[in-house]
Amino acid sequence: MAGERLTPAGLRQALGPGILLAGAAIGGSHLVASTQAGARYGLGLVGLVLLANLFKYPFLLVGSRFTAATGLSLLEGYRRQRGWYLPVYLLITFTTGVANIAAVTAVTGSLATSFLPGAPNLLAVGLLGVCLLLLLLGHYRSLDRLSKLIVAVLVISTVLATGAMLVQGPVADDPQWFSPSPWTLASLPFLVALMGWMPCPLDLAAWSSLWIYARQEDSGHRGSLAEVEADFNLGYLVTVVMAVLFLLLGAWVMHGTGDSFSPAGAAFSQQLIGLYTASLGGWAYPLIAAAAFTTMFSTSITCLDGYPRAASAGVRLLRGFAGPAVHDRRDHQLWMLLHFALAGAVLGLWPGSMGTLVQLAMVVSFVTTPVLAWMNLRVIQGRQVAPADRLGPGLLAVARLGLVVLSVFVVLFALTLRGG
């Protein structure tokens, strides 16, 4: 399958799962973490952002490559590779799913205060209900089309805002782009949080795998390995570029000014939108407020589809189903209702700030990263995949180095917590 040619018509029919991955990624890790990185440390974390994207690339690619090469979902690959891989994945996704859904929807609710009355948490619960209705009524097709539109709008608006900002110059008179240094023990919790969601948690690799099934069912076309990987690479390129642009926005508008992001949801949303309007002018406030909101709304609806989809497919695998039969619409809907209820309860009863919730979700995602990275690497390099479809020497070297670096960061973070 590795030698199949890529054609425009085939790519158009296969296009979707990679864009959905971008829609899921360009949320908490970009709107929140990247802008905070630029605001706090100027340009000091550009390299770490790029390295995080590079090191996670092979492990996220596995979800698309494995399914295109074998016709099996990555979750089925876990089950066939080692008996304990699938239960471990399900434990991770059960642990992080509700927290991550609640976290991204909390940001969405905060952004909604720009044009809707009400408390951010209550707005978040209401918006989560809207996401649920769209998914129950429109299924994969509505998710696919909505995400493509939102990602396109966000890319255009962000490129325009960043371009205007670079022309006008930084807000601070003397921003000192590489001060303070982020390479201190005190900064480690933020660095771990940044890498946890940059560009997204590794459990999303399984989502890409399952979305390929949904795309095939919707379009009637089974994408070749070349088409599926082109779709993935396009979406991934968008996430990398957007991560850097959001970091530049944070650095140019806030670094060196003495201002910092508020942990309070409503105040945070106004600061975030201010990053755009400061560079484009007050006239752009409604446009930018809508763009930022729809970005996080896209992430919210994608997460509400992805976590239940993976949970449903994983449990069905344990019950003996295989291949595309791991997806059952009714089971998926039941899992969505369960995740909605639990995330809604967290949003309605959470006593802390939105910033704390986002930080918690990012840290949990990061500390589980080495486990999922190891599992993905073993599956794609294992007996289930033809040698020609496995990772080549270059990608394999990046994956091994990434696994070491990510593991070292987790150990350092654990030692810091123990020492504190």
Asked if the structure places residue 115 within a domain, the reply is: yes
Please state the φ and ψ torsions of residue 351, each to the nearest 5 degrees: -85, -20
The answer to whether residue 3 is domain-embedded is no
Residue 7 has pLDDT above 60, yes or no: yes
Please give the structure tokens belonging to residue 124.
């978040």
**Residue 168 clears pLDDT 90, i.e. is over it:** no
> What pLDDT is stored for residue 354 in this prediction?
54
**Which residues constitute the domain of residue 367?**
8-419
Mean pLDDT across the chain, nearest whole number? 85
- The answer on pLDDT for 383 being more than 90 is yes
| Number of domains comprising the chain | 1
Query: In whole angstroms, what is the distance from residue 393 CA to residue 58 CA?
Result: 12
**Looking at the predicted structure, is the pLDDT value of residue 274 above 80?**
no
Q: For 179-207, what is the mean pLDDT?
A: 85
Which of 118-127, 334-343, 345-354 has the least mean pLDDT? 345-354
pLDDT of residue 28: 65
**70 pLDDT more than 90:** yes
Considering the domain boundaries, does residue 218 fall inside one?
A: yes
Quick one: average pLDDT of 225-244?
92
Is residue 320 situated within a structural domain? yes
> How many percent of the chain have pLDDT more than 70?
92
Residue with tokens 């088409």: 227
Residue 115's domain is classified under what CATH number? 1.20.1740.10
- Kindly state whether residue 2 falls inside one of the protein's structural domains: no
**CA–CA gap between residue 227 and residue 221 (Å, rounded):** 11
Own/partner pairs, 149-153, CB within 8 angstroms, 24+ separation: 150/23, 150/294, 150/295, 150/297, 150/298, 151/19, 151/22, 151/23, 151/26, 151/238, 151/298, 153/291, 153/294
Give the least confident one: 264-273, 331-340, 363-372: 264-273
pTM: predicted TM-score of the whole model, two decimal places = 0.90
What is the distance between the alpha carbons of residues 169 and 255, in angstroms, rounded to a whole number? 12
> Residue 78: which pLDDT band, with cuts at 50, 70 and 90?
very high
* Residue 347 scores a pLDDT above 70: yes
Higher-confidence residue of 163 and 70: namely: 70
For residue 2, the tally of other CB atoms under 10 A from its CB is 16
Residue 370: which pLDDT band, with cuts at 50, 70 and 90? very high
Residue 1 lies in a domain: no
What average pLDDT does range 111-139 have in this prediction?
88
Number of neighbouring beta carbons within 10 Å of residue 185: 11
Q: Which of 123, 127, 107 is nearest to 264 (CA)?
A: 107
